[in-house]
Amino acid sequence: MGHGPSRRSSPITLGDDEDVRKLVEDALTEYCAALDRVATVKPKKCTFQPVFLALADAATRRFSITEPLAFYQNVSPSKELRDASDAAETVVQGSGVESSMRVDVFRAKQIALKEHDSFHVKYSEDDEEFYQVTYKSPDWGLILRFAENPETRRKVYAGYEDRLAKNASVLINIFNFRREIANLLGYALWADYVTEVKMVKTAKGVGEFLRDIERRLRPIGGKDLKAFLAMKKQEHQEKGFPWDGELYAWDCYDRKLLEQILKFDTRLLREYFSVSFVVPAILEIHQDLFEVKFVEAKGTTWHPKVQQFEVWEKDAKDESDFLGYCYRGTTVAGDFMGAPSRMLEN
């Protein structure tokens, strides 16, 4: 198929200011309606799905419409379209402020959150300071990596692993159903059933594969374990923590090993990954993952160094297989901007 910039116009020149205003207005109207529905959920029914899932879906729909429209203010050759895009972004931001101040929606979220650790607050008790944190990665993950007190890391790790204990009965039922399905279909194990269509073919093959990996990695892991234990012992002796000669799951010394022993510097590593090498590699990975094809296109962009790519179905035959555009900008944050609607839907 012969496709390229001559086959279609640049997306930057599509639409007009009235289109932008109407699309933004409709998107915000739909979003406000979703907030109204959440606000009217009865307290006894304020759970994850009617509150947080509904808000997330509404925010995603709004974002998929308003963000591409805001993009025009930076790239369109048309002054009218740039101005309309800029004005639309201001309207969206104002709407976001108003939405965040809705007490009725906040109360619905509070009720839905009552059974979860969801606030990151600081409080005092008996002249001691305490922090209440969530089990989201930015909280518990950083504590495991940077907290010096091993007891703090242990409590956070144990709490994280036990956060969904109430799902144990659900998982037991799932395992029982899987076992029953496997038996009905003539398989000894569920693993035999799900691996039959995969390269490994059987549960026995999985076991052999894992044992082979363990055999190869155990010597390397043994060396790392000795290094971690030496670092932990030194740290505990210097800071007065009890030392029992063991390394636990909440003892995250891999970061310190990289920094102190291996002298690993990520900034130096970047020198070996130039843009001319990384960009084609990323495009190739995305082509394989999403079964699409990227074709560099020449068109009007906001900077001479910006690359514009057409995105097509992998085996495109005609114009109906066109998915959209993406861009590689002049900064990391601006790379591969664009959200083709058909890709969003999928």
Cβ 153 vs Cβ 144: under 8 Å:
yes
pLDDT interval class at 112 (50, 70, 90): confident
pLDDT cut 90: percent of the chain above it: 36
Q: What is the DSSP letter of 337?
A: B
Comparing 71-75, 113-117, 324-328, the range with the smallest average pLDDT is: 113-117
Residue pLDDT, tens place only, 142-195: 888 888 899 999 999 998 888 888 888 999 999 999 999 999 999 999 999 999
212 CB neighbour count, 10 Å cutoff: 10
* Residue 202 burial by Cβ neighbours in a 10 Å radius (0-12, 13-18, 19+): middle
pLDDT at 331 over 50: no
Residue pLDDT, tens place only, 229-269: 999 999 999 999 999 999 999 998 888 887 777 777 666 77
pLDDT interval class at 123 (50, 70, 90): low
Look at residue 251 in the predicted model and tell me its pLDDT: 92
pLDDT at 94 over 80: yes
Question: Which of residues 5 and 287 earns the better pLDDT score?
Answer: 287
Look at residue 275 in the predicted model and tell me its pLDDT: 79
Following DSSP, what letter does each residue of 35-81 receive, concatenated?
HHHHHTS-GGG-SIIIIIIHHHHHHHHHHHHHHHHHHHHHH-S-HHH
Look at residue 75 in the predicted model and tell me its pLDDT: 77
Look at residue 70 in the predicted model and tell me its pLDDT: 85
pLDDT interval class at 113 (50, 70, 90): confident
Look at residue 118 in the predicted model and tell me its pLDDT: 43
72 CB neighbour count, 10 Å cutoff: 24
pLDDT at 337 over 50: no
Which neighbouring-strand residues pair with 129? 124
Comparing 13-17, 203-207, 274-278, 340-344, the range with the smallest average pLDDT is: 340-344
Which neighbouring-strand residues pair with 128? 125
Per the structure block, which two tokens stand in for 295? 């074709």
Angstrom CA distances, 341 to 53, 240, 299, 309, 311, stand at 21, 58, 20, 15, 11
pLDDT cut 70: percent of the chain above it: 85
Comparing 24-33, 105-114, 261-270, the range with the smallest average pLDDT is: 261-270
Q: What is the C-alpha to C-alpha distance for residues 254 and 227, in angstroms, rounded to an integer?
A: 10
pLDDT at 344 over 70: no
Q: What is the C-alpha to C-alpha distance for residues 192 and 204, in angstroms, rounded to an integer?
A: 8
Look at residue 336 in the predicted model and tell me its pLDDT: 46
pLDDT at 341 over 60: no
Q: Where are the alpha helices (DSSP H) in the chain?
A: 17-39, 54-75, 79-100, 103-112, 137-146, 150-161, 168-184, 190-195, 203-239, 254-256, 266-269, 275-290, 341-345
> In whole angstroms, how large is the CA radius of gyration of the chain?
27
Residues 101-127 have a mean pLDDT of 71
